Structure 1
Amino acid sequence: MNNSMINSSVSMHSLQQKLDILSNNIANVNTNGFKKKEASFEDVLTNVQAQPEGFRSQGRFSPLGFNQGWGSRLVQIQTNLAQGPIQSTGNLTDFAIQGEGLFEVSVSKLDENGNPVFQPAWTRNGAFSLTPDGNGGTVLTTKEGRFITGTDGNPIHVPVGYRPSVEKDGTIQGYNEQDPAAAPIRLGQIKLVRVVRPQLLEDVGENLYALPAGITAEEKANILQDLNGVAGTGANRVSLMQGFLEQSNVTLSDEMTDLVIVQRALQLNSRAITSSDQMMGMANNLRA
């Protein structure tokens, strides 16, 4: 009976983690560029218990013994980078990525001396805006004010009075709104990276991904591939669409189905604990 209680308690802990993942997916069903999380589980330990020879009966082909499990545990939380539905917005600063790519943004953090430093992070959310840069122009940022990184490693500046037009490879051309006949000027190129190993990216919140601490340049190349604006071909193609936004790839019906399954599994394990407790109580109340 103690074995059943241990098995159920361990399994309930894993199911609670699965429940947290599902609730996070459901909460972000309307978040632009959100990628759902998927959990992988494995058995903690399985023992083979022997059975008496008396259990062997005529016609039995299976060997004597039975498997006794000790619950399951969460092994890994993976990010599903499947393409989400793309919705037209008509906004010039909205961008959707087609393919397994990410935008690179600059995140401000404090170093060990308390000085602000910028570190790269990556996102699929292409809802950008033009923020005044203090020099009479604007700079392309996220809604939270983080700079969008160009292929040269610098923020992308857009002069006032120019309309940005972005090509599929991320190249930005500026058209003079006062003189439509004037030739466009090149404003920069949005940096795009292709995800090679999404399971190694860390979710740091606010729809951002980062690399593990202490990673080397060679290890980074095995996780993220710098496209330098090259769109690629075939299955590896990564391109931009201006005036569109990628929606979350969470399917609410699938998440609700998994939610019901997890809730029923939690109910089953909780009843197993209750049954074991009742049986232990009956054995404790027996009198010789």
Structure 2
Amino acid sequence: MNHSMINSSVSMHALQQKLDMLSNNIANVNTTGYKRKEASFQDVLTSVKQQPKGFVKEGRLSPLGYNQGWGARLVQAQLNMTQGSLQATESPLDVAIEGNGLFEINTFTRDANNNPVPQTLWTRNGSFETSPSNDPADPDLFLTTKDGQYVMGADNNPVRIPADHSVQIQIDGRILASSNLDKTSPPVEAGQIKLVRVIRPQLLQELGDNLYQLPTGIANREEVLQTVDDTNNSIDPITMRQGFLENSNVALADEMTDLLLVQRAFQLNSKAITSSDTMMGLANNLRA
């Protein structure tokens, strides 16, 4: 296989990965809190070839060496944490994040022995609801996602909301619960929603359903996701907006433009392989 076929085939593989990424972004243009993914490429290998000495001419300024590439590869797919537009809703349990943050949620998976194992995940989707406790003797409600995952509080426990109470969520995530039965009673603080700041978005792994997890082997979670508190939220603050949901930050026009460019690049590399195959066929059919 000659150089042009190697170069083109390697580049086509990287372009196919970029196409898959663009199609995923376009498919989630209306997904609440979705963050688009961006691709970074680099050369696989670059060799320096030397031209024959006969090319040396008096007054020649260009060097005899020239670069020869071997295609490009996808080196990183990173989340773009740019703020999406906010859309007002009628639900007091809808919460939008303003800033570079994520909600922390807790769910349960089953191990090999079918025992429940807690798992910590993160999401940008703030469409919450309340769910009753599994314990009939527990009158409180839990703040959960639409899929039933527990929303974690600043105390690293699921957020509880007293029954027959309406909630008011402050910009820092504090929840004030007011009794629906006694309108004269002052509101009580029911807890605070936990937020984490995304430090290294390239390390987050997508699980689908707008959920993220950390890869195995991360020694210090705070280097990737920093817990937001009063001491570190003064610079580049992360806040919440009750009664709003964040739209996807995907710009459909930009995605379609990138899609056309990638398709043209893929087509160019495909034609390069076809041309190389044609020339090799002509060379094989030459007669002395």
Q: TM-score range by the shorter chain?
A: over 0.9
Whole-angstrom distance in 2 between the partners of 1:243 and 1:66: 60
| Structure 2 equivalent of residue 224 of structure 1 | 225
CA displacement at 1:223 relative to structure 2: 1.4
- Structure 1 runs (4+) greater than 6 angstroms displaced: none
Equivalent in the alignment of 1:207: 210
Whole-Å separation in 2 of the counterparts to 1:6 and 1:64 = 24
Deviates more, 1:101-110 or 1:56-65: 56-65
- Separation in 1 of the partners of 2:12 and 2:66? 23
Shift of 1:208: 1.2
Confirm whether residue 73 of structure 1 aligns to residue 76 of structure 2: no
Distance 1:215-1:66 versus aligned 2 partners, 3 A rule? closer
Is 1:93–2:93 an aligned residue pair?
yes
**2:84 paired with 1:84:** yes
| Residue 61 (str. 1) matches residue 61 (str. 2) | yes
Q: TM-score, normalized by length of structure 1?
A: 0.94
One-letter code of the match for 1:179? D
CA distance in 2 between counterparts of 1:229 and 1:162 reads 27
- Report matched runs for 1:22-33 at 5 Å: 22-33=22-33
* Count of aligned positions: 285
Equivalent residue runs for 1:165-180 within 5 Å: 165-180=168-183
CA distance in 2, matches of 1:151, 1:63: 63
Identity %: 57
Tell me, yes or no, if the aligned pair for 1:192 and 1:229 is still in contact at 8 Å: no
- Aligned residue number for residue 131 of structure 1: 131
The 8 Å contact of residues 171 and 229 in structure 1, kept in 2 or not, is answered as: no
Alignment match of 1:192 (pick from 191, 195, 218): 195
1:270 aligned residue? 270
For residues 250 and 38 of structure 1, the distance between their equivalents in structure 2, rounded to whole angstroms, comes to: 11
How far apart in 2 are the matches of 1:123 and 1:267?
37
**Which segment drifts farther, 103-112 or 73-82?**
103-112
1:46 and 1:215 map into 2 onto residues whose CA distance is: 33
Q: 1-side partners of 2:76 and 2:227: how far apart? A: 26
Cross-structure match for 1:4: 4
Paired AA for residue 177 in structure 1: N
Alpha carbons 1:231, 1:238 under 8 Å: kept: no
Q: CA 1:229 to 1:179, structure 2 compared with 1: closer, same or farther past 3 Å?
A: farther
In angstroms, what is the RMSD of aligned CA positions? 1.7
Q: CA deviation at 1:70?
A: 0.6
Give the whole-Å Cα distance in 1 for the aligned partners of 2:230 and 2:150: 17
Partner of 1:247: 247
The one-letter amino acid paired with 1:104 is: E
CA deviation digits over 1:119-167, x for unaligned, max 9? 2111111011112325444221111110101112222222332101111
3-state secondary structure, aligned to 2:202: helix
Secondary structure of the residue that 1:120 maps to in structure 2? Answer: strand
Question: Which secondary structure does the structure 2 equivalent of 1:117 belong to?
Answer: strand
Correspondence for 2:285? 285
CA distance in 1, matches of 2:62, 2:102: 53
Cα drift, residue 85 of structure 1:
0.9
Instruction: Give 1:178 deviation, angstroms.
Output: 2.6
**Which stretches in structure 1 are left out of the alignment for 5+ residues?**
none
